Structure 1
Amino acid sequence: MGHLGGIIVRQRRWTAMLAMTATAACVAPAPPPPPAAAARPPAQASAPSIRQLPPGQVASHAPSSLERRIVELGRSFSGSVGIAVRDVSDGWTVGYNADRPMPQQSVSKLWVAMTALDAVDRGGLSLQEPVTVTRDNLTVFHQPVRAMMGPNGYATSYGELMRIAMTQSDNTCNDMVLRRAGGPTAVRSMIERKGLGRIAFGPGETLLQSGIAGMTWRPEYAHNNGFRTARAAIPYAQRQAAMDRYLADPMDGASAEAIAGALARLQRGELLSPASTSRLLGLMRQSRTGPQRLRGGLAPGWVLAHKTGTGQDFAGLSTGYNDVGVITAPDGRSYAVAVMIASTRQSIPARQQLMNEVVRAVIASHGWNGRTPVMVSSATPPAGGIDQ
């Protein structure tokens, strides 16, 4: 692995496996709450030139224009960010700070779904298996399934719970699929067995989110806004210390490079059966979350299959603001992209702009769509999307 000021540029054949390292992340603790400051937008730079390759020719190494642009974007962003782009066919990777573990937050729902589908492939789980969601199953934060529940709960299947978890980032649905698939131990085993690299998995939503806030989870926190009320009563110093510990060594940490590598293997059909691969990528294409993140940088004709993640805010610091996925060109060529913002005080539009520009850089470096250079412009996000 070559290093230059924290910038990672990898070139390897697509069959090479990611090496696991033991270096822990380290993020400087946030200072006490400062007066609100104006967000500094990312530095503006001209778009990279379009690389026009002869028909049928593919690059054997990362385009230099893309390497430069990813480095420029990472360096100009005010915050801790990891970026990785992998060509699914050729296997080259470019990145910025790409080997450092970053908080995943709901990006980790991807590994829960993958573990469940792997169990389906091995005959240990049926997605048609019935299940009922009750108030006792509720967790914390984003839970659209709550509105679907009647007096006797919400009767459905594990396949439907997976769909809601992946397309709407529902925490309760995800935790129920997680339990049925064998819990955190099963997810960690799947990650290790399939050699996905530097990807950790936390203890589930309730324990993860309460731990980040310096709290111990109680079932009553799931009702009547209990978690937010209890969190607001935690002393500042206690919350700050807990957040510092989380950012320094996130229990759900993963490197952008490892995520991009896993997504590339998923796209190539190396991790699941053809049917399960198609199901998972289909759910990722249907996702309605984060319509202005990676999706905001797409050009017409390009398709995104993705999973977002959004962590807690504290004292003006936002954490775990992520989007990872596979973008596919009109000519069928695909790229795995991971943008992981561990912590920042930048505004949401500034974070989204960074993600847009990463996608635009990939599209510009693609450079050839049949016989017509690809022009970069934003695609219209799906209606009803939420920034989760």
Structure 2
Amino acid sequence: MLVPLRRSFIAPLAAALALTACVPSSTPPTLPVARPASPPISSAAAPRPAPTARPAAPVRREAPADLLNSVQALGGAFKGQVAIAVRDIDQGWSVAWNGDRPHPQQSVSKLWVGIAVMAAVDEGRLSLADPVVVKRSDLTLFHQPIRAKVGTEGYRTTIGELLQGAMTLSDNTCNDVLLWKVGGPDAIRRLLAARGVAGVGFGPGERELQARTAGLRWRPEWAGGGGFLQARAAMSYEARSKALQRYLDDPYDGATANGITLGLSLLADNKLLSPASTRHLLALMRASRTGPLRLKSGLKPGWTLAHKTGTGQDLGTLSTGYNDVGLLVAPDGRRYAVAVMIASTREPIPVRMRLMGDVSRAIVATTTR
């Protein structure tokens, strides 16, 4: 049930809405990609270099009261189902609103695929220079800029360029090709469990996830998305609503906000990947072109954000899976993992983006006094 909210006036933002994660379209950048399928990721973590030494920080047993109050107020006032979590990576405290309830991830799940790819690089099973041929049968649906490049003979690129497309443009096809290169959904789940990322699930892959969310079963002939859109449009509103509610009640790709900030903190401390692979993945996340008016909108000069957005399907005025998660770094190097996950709401996009920016503003304001 949606909780009533006092609305603040927010001006229309028109063209500034930018790229979202799963559904929107965009002009693709130049991408390369390609190599024969690699074996699944093993559940055992490969040896990794020790974390980079950082100056010792005083351990604070409790979070700043002002930040706790701000997070609780923002979560409680928002008209919709939302989860918010903030974790101080260096001092260890955390605050949350609804932080342990699984929420749809949508394209936030590309973060875990990116980690799996870089883990395979660390283990010597993949190289970012490995060639890949993306075929028409590999195409997914919704946001996939690479689709324009895939001709009858396919498109020749590399693992590294596919990773760039998945992390900076949230390209669904780039991500799904990488997903199967590292062994599929089960391999991601094993990796997360083996490396201590609790509270994070992983869905069945983009095509099956979106089909099930709409109450359909994916068909291979829908590759590219056109057939799926036609089949979805032919469904009754009642059938789609029932399927969407089923997804919201028990998300196939569900994760908790606390689990995501745990995963981000482990990544930031080089506990999931080697330092070199961590730096590469975070650089791609900082270069992301999606969601510039979400978490990033609340930052002050000198702060940086390495993040991953997610955007789910809409039905009428109901929007689902509107997310932004990432690693905030202050000018003095202090680090905060943050997750804002809107499972469902009827609030317009500017209101959702304002909430995310307000979370970032609260972090900046209460940690720099």
**Interval of TM-score (by shorter of Structure 1 and Structure 2):** 0.7 to 0.9
Change in CA separation of 1:186 and 1:291 when aligned onto 2, cut-off 3 Å: same
CA distance, structure 2, for counterparts of residue 112 and residue 199 of structure 1: 13
In the alignment, which residue of structure 1 is the partner of 2:119?
118
Is the CA contact (8 Å cut-off) linking 2:211 and 2:217 kept in structure 1? yes
In the alignment, which residue of structure 2 is the partner of 1:378?
none
What is the CA-CA distance between 1:271 and the residue it aligns to? Answer: 1.0
CA distance, structure 1, for counterparts of residue 251 and residue 266 of structure 2: 24
Q: What's the secondary structure of 1:265's corresponding residue?
A: helix
In the alignment, which residue of structure 2 is the partner of 1:327?
328
In the alignment, which residue of structure 2 is the partner of 1:131?
132
Superposed, which structure 2 residues align to 1:49-88 within 5 Å? Answer: 59-88=60-89
Q: What's the secondary structure of 1:95's corresponding residue?
A: strand
AA aligned opposite 1:249: D
Is the CA contact (8 Å cut-off) linking 1:42 and 1:77 kept in structure 2? no
Superposed, which structure 2 residues align to 1:253-264 within 5 Å? Answer: 253-264=254-265
What is the CA-CA distance between 1:315 and the residue it aligns to? Answer: 2.7
AA aligned opposite 2:75: G
CA distance, structure 2, for counterparts of residue 137 and residue 244 of structure 1: 29
Unmatched segments (≥5 aa) in structure 1 = 1-27, 31-37, 45-55, 369-388
Is the CA contact (8 Å cut-off) linking 1:39 and 1:347 kept in structure 2? no
Is the CA contact (8 Å cut-off) linking 1:43 and 1:76 kept in structure 2? no
In the alignment, which residue of structure 1 is the partner of 2:40?
none
User: Does residue 159 of structure 2 align to residue 155 of structure 1?
Assistant: no
What is the CA-CA distance between 1:225 and the residue it aligns to? Answer: 2.3
Name the TM-score, length of structure 2 as normaliser: 0.84
Name the TM-score, length of structure 1 as normaliser: 0.80
CA RMSD of aligned residues (A): 1.9
CA distance, structure 1, for counterparts of residue 172 and residue 225 of structure 2: 16
Is the CA contact (8 Å cut-off) linking 2:104 and 2:251 kept in structure 1? yes
What is the CA-CA distance between 1:92 and the residue it aligns to? Answer: 0.5
Calculate percent identity across the aligned residue pairs.
55
CA distance, structure 2, for counterparts of residue 109 and residue 230 of structure 1: 26
Unmatched segments (≥5 aa) in structure 2 = 11-56
Is the CA contact (8 Å cut-off) linking 2:135 and 2:154 kept in structure 1? yes
Is the CA contact (8 Å cut-off) linking 1:39 and 1:346 kept in structure 2? no
Change in CA separation of 1:346 and 1:300 when aligned onto 2, cut-off 3 Å: same
CA offsets 1:246-270 (integer angstroms, 9 cap, x no match) = 0000010000011011101111111
AA aligned opposite 2:353: Q
In the alignment, which residue of structure 1 is the partner of 2:287?
286
**More displaced, 78-87 or 263-272?**
263-272
User: Does residue 63 of structure 2 align to residue 97 of structure 1?
Assistant: no
CA distance, structure 2, for counterparts of residue 42 and residue 198 of structure 1: 33
In the alignment, which residue of structure 2 is the partner of 1:216?
217
Change in CA separation of 1:264 and 1:238 when aligned onto 2, cut-off 3 Å: same
In the alignment, which residue of structure 2 is the partner of 1:225?
226
What is the CA-CA distance between 1:212 and the residue it aligns to? Answer: 0.3
CA distance, structure 1, for counterparts of residue 95 and residue 9 of structure 2: 20
CA distance, structure 1, for counterparts of residue 227 and residue 309 of structure 2: 25
Change in CA separation of 1:224 and 1:256 when aligned onto 2, cut-off 3 Å: closer
AA aligned opposite 2:217: T
What is the CA-CA distance between 1:134 and the residue it aligns to? Answer: 1.9
Which of 33, 38, 41 matches 2:7? 41
Is the CA contact (8 Å cut-off) linking 1:213 and 1:243 kept in structure 2? yes
CA distance, structure 2, for counterparts of residue 290 and residue 226 of structure 1: 28
What is the CA-CA distance between 1:57 and the residue it aligns to? Answer: 6.6
What is the CA-CA distance between 1:59 and the residue it aligns to? Answer: 4.4
CA distance, structure 1, for counterparts of residue 6 and residue 169 of structure 2: 30
In the alignment, which residue of structure 1 is the partner of 2:35?
none
Is the CA contact (8 Å cut-off) linking 2:5 and 2:79 kept in structure 1? no
AA aligned opposite 1:315: G
In the alignment, which residue of structure 1 is the partner of 2:368?
367
Q: How many residues align?
A: 322
Is the CA contact (8 Å cut-off) linking 1:107 and 1:323 kept in structure 2? yes
Is the CA contact (8 Å cut-off) linking 1:304 and 1:325 kept in structure 2? yes
AA aligned opposite 1:141: F
Is the CA contact (8 Å cut-off) linking 2:86 and 2:338 kept in structure 1? yes
In the alignment, which residue of structure 2 is the partner of 1:24?
none
CA distance, structure 1, for counterparts of residue 135 and residue 8 of structure 2: 45
Change in CA separation of 1:224 and 1:299 when aligned onto 2, cut-off 3 Å: closer
In the alignment, which residue of structure 2 is the partner of 1:186?
187
User: Does residue 243 of structure 2 align to residue 242 of structure 1?
Assistant: yes
CA distance, structure 1, for counterparts of residue 239 and residue 283 of structure 2: 42
